[in-house]
Amino acid sequence: MSYHDVDAHIHTVITGGLVKFGKYSMAADVFRFGVMKKFPLDNVAYGVGIYALLKCGRIQEACAVYDQMKVNGLRPDGYTFNLMIYVFCREKNIQMMQVMLQEMIDFRVELSDRNFLNICKFPCGSDTYITLLNLLSKMRDLGLLSAKVLHSLILDVQAEGEQAKEKVYAKSESERSLISYSSSSEDLSDIAAVC
């Protein structure tokens, strides 16, 4: 390792330590210092830096660092993708969620169960929500959703189907009881007279 590489490694360890102790703003500043000094930072260093920026609320700066990471030829890992999706869910920034989901599809990165459930909580109906559902459908087809989430979806659909069956059955039973209740012995004698 060259001296410059050792500096980059130490820089990442310091940034990670600051994050570990909740000093997010300081960690973000140390990360920006490493970028400014042109340390040869790897995707782990960028991931820690993005995490620090997101935790101290500097979302736009985190997005710029994310873009810079890709320009430098580094591939974001699943943790970085899922962290950004989580923040965009919290911020209700559907457009950035769409961008991240598409990039996760392109890089074949699995969506975390927590983020999947957070995305499913958004109100239905809008065109952007439909786009999110289409992206989630692509992720399902590519195997980028966990088996646990898919299993719970199947159980939810089955439960909804059972509830719908019970409602139909209850309705038909109540209609049947209304019909039998409205039939009196006089009605039956009228029917017998007609026959």
Find the mean pLDDT for residues 139-153.
83
Residues 6 or more apart from 73 whose CB is under 8 A from it? none
Do both 14 and 67 map to the same domain? yes
**63 and 121 inside one domain:** no
pLDDT in tens, 17-40: 999 999 999 999 999 988 888 888
Residues 187, 160 within the same domain: yes
* 4 and 50 fall within a common domain: yes
Do 5 and 62 have their domain in common? yes
* Radius of gyration for the alpha carbons in the chain, expressed in angstroms and rounded: 28
On the question of pLDDT at 137 being above 90, the answer is no
Whether 155 and 127 map to the same domain: the answer is no
38 and 57 co-located in one domain: yes
- Same domain assignment for residues 25 and 63: yes
Position with higher pLDDT, 194 vs 89: 89
Convert the pLDDT of each residue in 101-133 to its tens digit. Answer: 999 999 999 999 999 988 888 777 667 778 888
- Better-scored residue on pLDDT, 177 or 106: 106
Please state the domain count of the chain: 3
Once rounded to an integer, what is the mean pLDDT over residues 88-112? 93
- Kindly compute the dihedral angle of the four CA atoms of residues 35, 37, 43, 48, in this order, to the nearest 10 degrees: -60
Residue ranges making up the domain that contains 158: 149-195
Is the pLDDT confidence value at 177 over 60?
Answer: no
